[in-house]
């Protein structure tokens, strides 16, 4: 048997209902915050990720699905391609390629789609996973550096999680500084690490050489006392980064968005500057980051574009769905009416009635042609239908239909025109807020 590739999986109904529900909610939220959808290719030039996410990061150095594509001519070399491990780089590439800075004001984009990282699969971690992300980008003159932009983005995320009924999330916030103060902090960190490098875990010894910032992210219990004693980014922020960070916090407080400061929060991608954040959720186990994001004020320039400060986030949709399942608030789709045609001649009548009712938005399943009342009612119950409608010759002739409420067993006789009003008084829209 051929199975799905390690770290990838099929999303099956009814779980796909929850995915669609989450995406519909996110799209609705993006609409009111004036974000528009962008779709970039899943395949990109490998260099894009090397120059943005960073060659020394785990994502690029260890986790990319990348290969040399076939050359167009024998004399040429093939181009190195990669399946995107994240979407920010692709969005900024598109921003530069299509000169989107020529459009007025700030650009607000969102995306929903698969990303690929060759990580060790475990609960909440896949090699093909899905992100719902957004980016705000534009020239400084359009206000792209404003701390209000950061706070608004975070407030939007808090609204999404709250609106979905997800309880127990924590927003962890940090400022990772900028090109001005980063070298000074890195030097202080390297100096401090020099004395203790022999005592920290092997991974951290490697990080000490390649990317000392990542040492701060170490989870090994024995390393914690050492890491606690290392210099803190917050003590090295330059004046403008410090003021920016304070402003972000002030606006968040005014908006009523709770957060905790975590000065050891370093993100696994190199492009970040200033505000960096993660939303974590207790019920998710080791992979508890449900959302990650931050500012990337120099990214456009490092990819050959104009100065275009930006900030964004990506929600791990797989993890968001898990959190929603934990909270028990998942939508279910049900058949409203199961139409049971009793007799071969009834098939056409059933099809016509089904068409009429579906046009009114009622979910219909047409029966299985067994033409036996008892069997039909059993099937209707098994499939979870709310009502069964018996359709025999008598019904067609008289125009009166027997409508049976399968939960209560109550049966009423209704005329064709009244079917809709009869069931819609109790109609349920699985996506409506009242239902949740």
Closer to ligand HAM by Cβ: residue 276 or 403: 276
Alpha-carbon span 312 to 39, nearest angstrom: 15
Tokens of 124: 């909440």
Closer to ligand HAM by Cβ: residue 282 or 384: 282
Q: Least distance (Å) from ligand HAM to the CB of residue 210?
A: 18
Q: Least distance (Å) from ligand HAM to the CB of residue 320?
A: 8
Closer to ligand HAM by Cβ: residue 145 or 318: 318
Q: Least distance (Å) from ligand HAM to the CB of residue 424?
A: 39
Closer to ligand HAM by Cβ: residue 18 or 131: 131
Closer to ligand HAM by Cβ: residue 226 or 324: 324
User: How many residues in total does the chain contain?
Assistant: 436
One-letter-per-residue 3-state SS of the chain = CCCCCCCCCCCCCCHHHHHHHHHHHHHHHHHHCCCEECCCCCEEEHHHHHHHHHCCCHHHHHCCCEEECCCCCCCCCCCEEEECCCCHHHHHHHHHHCCHHHCCCCEEEEEEEEEECCCCCECCECCEEEEEEEEEECCHHHCCCCHHHHHHHHHHHHHHHHHCCCCCEEEEEEECCCCCCHHHHHHHHHHHHHHHHHHCCHHHHHHHHHCHHHHHHCCCHHHHHHHHCCCCHHHCCCHHHHHHHHHHHHHHHHHCCCCEECCCCCCCCCCCEEEEEEEEEHHHCCCCEEEEEEECCCHHHHCCCCCCCEEEEEEEHHHHHHHHHHHCCCCCCCCCEEEEECCCCHHHHHHHHHHHHHHCCCCEEECCCCCCHHHHHHHHHHCCCCEEEEECHHHHHHCEEEEEECCCCCEEEEEHHHHHHHHHCCCCCCCCHHHC
Alpha-carbon span 304 to 298, nearest angstrom: 10
Closer to ligand HAM by Cβ: residue 101 or 129: 129
Asked whether the beta carbons of 263 and 277 are under 8 A apart, the reply is: no
Alpha-carbon span 121 to 6, nearest angstrom: 8
Q: Least distance (Å) from ligand HAM to the CB of residue 91?
A: 8
Q: Least distance (Å) from ligand HAM to the CB of residue 302?
A: 14
Q: Least distance (Å) from ligand HAM to the CB of residue 318?
A: 5
Q: Least distance (Å) from ligand HAM to the CB of residue 109?
A: 10
Short-list 213, 154, 150, 155, CA closest to 187: 213
Closer to ligand HAM by Cβ: residue 286 or 352: 286
Q: Least distance (Å) from ligand HAM to the CB of residue 59?
A: 7
Q: Least distance (Å) from ligand HAM to the CB of residue 27?
A: 17
Alpha-carbon span 377 to 380, nearest angstrom: 5
Closer to ligand HAM by Cβ: residue 269 or 303: 269
Closer to ligand HAM by Cβ: residue 231 or 293: 293
Q: Least distance (Å) from ligand HAM to the CB of residue 215?
A: 18
Closer to ligand HAM by Cβ: residue 131 or 175: 131
> Which residues contact ligand HAM (rule: CB under 6 A)?
86-88, 117, 119, 124-126, 129, 131, 133, 135, 268-269, 289-294, 312-314, 316, 318-319
Q: Least distance (Å) from ligand HAM to the CB of residue 85?
A: 7
Closer to ligand HAM by Cβ: residue 7 or 430: 7
Name the closest residue to ligand HAM (Cβ): 316
Tokens of 259: 């957060």
């Amino acid at each position: 048997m051929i199975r799905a590739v390690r770290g990838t999986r099929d999303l099956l109904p009814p779980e796909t209902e929850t995915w669609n529900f989450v995406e519909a909610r996110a799209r609705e939220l993006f609409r009111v915050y004036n974000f528009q959808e962008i779709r970039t290719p899943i395949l990109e030039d490998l260099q894009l990720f090397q120059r943005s996410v960073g060659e020394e990061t785990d994502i690029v150095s260890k986790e990319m699905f990348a290969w040399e594509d076939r050359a167009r001519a024998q004399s040429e070399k093939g181009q190195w391609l990669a399946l995107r491990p994240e979407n920010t780089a692709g969005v900024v590439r598109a921003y530069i390629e299509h000169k989107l800075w020529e459009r007025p004001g700030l650009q607000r984009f969102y995306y929903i789609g698969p990303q690929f990282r060759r990580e060790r699969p475990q609960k909440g971690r896949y090699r093909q996973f899905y992100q719902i992300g957004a980016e705000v980008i534009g020239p400084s003159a359009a206000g792209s550096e404003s701390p209000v932009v950061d706070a608004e983005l975070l407030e939007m995320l808090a609204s999404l999680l709250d609106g979905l009924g997800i309880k127990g999330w924590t927003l962890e916030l940090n400022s990772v500084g900028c090109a001005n103060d980063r070298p000074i902090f890195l030097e202080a960190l390297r100096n401090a690490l020099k004395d203790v490098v022999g005592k920290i875990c092997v991974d951290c010894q490697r990080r000490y050489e390649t990317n000392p910032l990542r040492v701060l992210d170490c989870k090994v219990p024995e390393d914690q006392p050492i890491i606690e004693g290392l210099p803190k980014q917050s003590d090295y922020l330059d004046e403008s980064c410090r003021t920016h960070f304070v402003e972000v916090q002030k606006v968040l407080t005014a908006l009523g968005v709770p957060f905790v400061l975590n000065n050891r929060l370093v993100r696994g991608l190199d492009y970040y500057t200033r505000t960096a954040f993660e939303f974590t959720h207790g019920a998710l186990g080791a992979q508890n980051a449900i959302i990650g994001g931050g500012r990337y004020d120099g990214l456009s320039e490092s990819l050959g574009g104009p100065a275009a400060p930006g900030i964004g986030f990506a929600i791990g949709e797989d993890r968001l769905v898990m959190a929603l399942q934990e909270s028990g608030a998942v939508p279910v789709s049900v058949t409203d009416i199961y139409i049971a045609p009793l007799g071969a001649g009834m098939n056409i009548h059933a099809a016509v009635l089904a068409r009429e009712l579906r046009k009114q938005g009622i979910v219909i399943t047409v029966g299985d042609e067994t033409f036996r009342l008892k069997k039909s009612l059993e099937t209707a119950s098994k499939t979870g239908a709310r009502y069964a409608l018996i359709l025999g010759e008598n019904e067609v002739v008289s125009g009166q239909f027997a409508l049976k409420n399968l939960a209560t067993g109550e049966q009423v006789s209704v005329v064709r025109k009244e079917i809709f009003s009869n069931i819609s008084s109790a109609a349920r829209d699985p996506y409506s807020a009242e239902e949740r």
